[in-house]
């Protein structure tokens, strides 16, 4: 959402925002934390998800440089809905709520852009939910992998750190089905499998499969 506001306003906020460094696996925020601002990724990657009672992380997205998260909880004045963990070394700008809201008060034209971004995100979520139960396993898995990879997939460098069991749980598929589809994706040169890790080799083809 941060990326839709005018460039000069983004630069102004980032100029005054402290840059914080995180190590691989370090928790950046936890679900239930009080919302006093949001994050913009300067370098590295961040996994967004929710820790389950077992201690396992159910990943929902993998974000990279330029991506932001946490704006919705700022607008809602609510607590955090997700956990965020550094996927390798990462540097993030912290933008506090007060200067962000003051800027919007001075520039109400930016609220229209932010509202549009919220609506687009909601449409994506609804599209994902609608497709989960109505499409074949390969299409559903391709869509999930594309979403998890985020913008990183455009450079064919995305690495989704998630096991086959977790992928199956997110999609309502068995582990055996996920394994079968991933083997086919690997034979087709779309992905490369590793231990609790999937590297996307051909993002364009993956998105084509996701589109059915």
- Domains of the chain are 2-108 (2.60.120.10), 133-210 (1.10.10.10)
33: tokens are 């934390």
Is the pLDDT assigned to residue 152 strictly greater than 60?
A: no
Query: pTM score > 0.75 for this model?
Result: no
Q: What percent of the chain lies above the pLDDT cut of 70?
A: 90
Q: 51: pLDDT confidence band, cut at 50, 70 and 90?
A: confident
Residue 30 exposed, middle or buried by CB count within 10 Å (0-12, 13-18, 19+): middle
Q: Is 109 helix (H, G, I), strand (E, B) or coil?
A: helix
Cα–Cα distance for residue pair 62/50, rounded to 1 Å: 13
Q: 131: pLDDT confidence band, cut at 50, 70 and 90?
A: low
Q: 166: pLDDT confidence band, cut at 50, 70 and 90?
A: confident
Cα–Cα distance for residue pair 23/191, rounded to 1 Å: 27
């Amino acid at each position: 959402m941060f990326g839709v506001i005018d460039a000069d306003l983004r630069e102004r906020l980032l100029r005054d925002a402290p840059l914080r460094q995180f190590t691989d696996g370090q928790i950046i925020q936890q679900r239930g934390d009080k919302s006093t601002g949001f994050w913009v990724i300067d370098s590295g990657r961040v996994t967004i998800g929710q820790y389950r009672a077992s201690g396992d992380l159910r990943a929902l997205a993998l974000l990279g440089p330029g991506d932001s998260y946490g704006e919705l909880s700022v607008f809602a004045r609510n607590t955090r809905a997700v956990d965020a963990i550094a996927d390798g070394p990462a540097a993030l700008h912290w933008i506090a709520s007060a200067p962000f809201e003051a800027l919007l008060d001075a520039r109400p034209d930016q609220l229209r852009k932010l509202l549009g971004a919220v609506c687009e995100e909601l449409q994506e979520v609804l599209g994902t939910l609608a497709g989960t139960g109505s499409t074949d396993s390969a299409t559903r898995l391709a869509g999930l992998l594309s979403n998890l990879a985020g913008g990183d997939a455009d450079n064919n460098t995305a690495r989704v750190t998630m096991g086959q069991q977790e992928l199956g749980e997110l999609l309502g598929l068995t582990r055996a089905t996920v394994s079968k589809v991933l083997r086919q994706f690997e034979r087709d040169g779309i992905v490369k499998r590793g231990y609790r890790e999937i590297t996307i080799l051909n993002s364009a083809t993956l998105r084509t499969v996701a589109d059915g």
